[in-house]
């Protein structure tokens, strides 16, 4: 598996694998725009996932003067993408529950501080 130092790197690698699986012919600049990161970061991440055997790169000719690449996920790459998707989903669900709990607490505070009985204690600004 990819040696990810941070959850952010893992998330970026998941998104990269997801994009390459969906649109394998995207240029690195287009991938960078979709991910909201620099082309250099995309290049670095691509080299890593290629090194780990998650993606194969094929060079193809679009015209006589212009060459492009196609990035194809290997079976190992598809398996890793699936594992990363599962972990990403779990982390997002935990984040969602945490935010939902925080919203409920804030709604309780707002209701307690701004309910009808709170109006007596709050002085309007001058």
What is the DSSP track for 47-115? HHHHHTTSEEEEEEESSSS-EEEEEEE-HHHHHHHHHHHHHHHHHHHHHHHHHHHHHHHHHHHHHHHHS
Entry pTM? 0.69
Instruction: Compare 120 and 106 and report the one with higher pLDDT.
Output: 106
Q: What is the pLDDT of residues 13-68, one digit of tens each?
A: 899 999 999 999 999 999 999 999 999 999 999 999 999 999 999 987 654 545 58
- CATH code of domain 7-85: 1.10.10.10
The domain ranges of the chain are 7-85
Predicted confidence band of residue 2 (pLDDT cuts 50, 70, 90): very low
Q: In terms of Cα–Cα distance, which of 78, 72, 75 is closest to 14? A: 78
53-74 as b/e, with b when 16 or more CB fall inside 10 Å? ebbeeeeeeeeeeeeeeebebe
Cα separation of 100 and 93, whole Å? 10
What value does the mean pLDDT take over residues 61-76? Answer: 75
């Amino acid at each position: 598996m990819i040696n990810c130092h941070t959850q952010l790197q893992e998330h970026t690698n998941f998104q990269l694998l997801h994009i390459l699986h969906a649109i394998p012919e995207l240029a690195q600049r287009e991938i960078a725009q979709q991910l909201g990161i620099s082309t250099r970061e995309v290049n670095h991440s691509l080299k890593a996932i290629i090194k780990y055997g998650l993606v194969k790169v094929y060079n193809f000719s679009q015209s006589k003067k212009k060459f492009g690449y196609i990035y194809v996920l290997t079976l190992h790459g598809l398996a890793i993408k699936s594992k990363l998707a599962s972990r990403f989903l779990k982390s997002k669900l935990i984040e969602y529950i945490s935010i939902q709990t925080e919203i409920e607490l804030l709604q309780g505070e707002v209701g307690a501080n701004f309910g009808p009985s709170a109006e007596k204690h709050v002085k309007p600004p001058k």
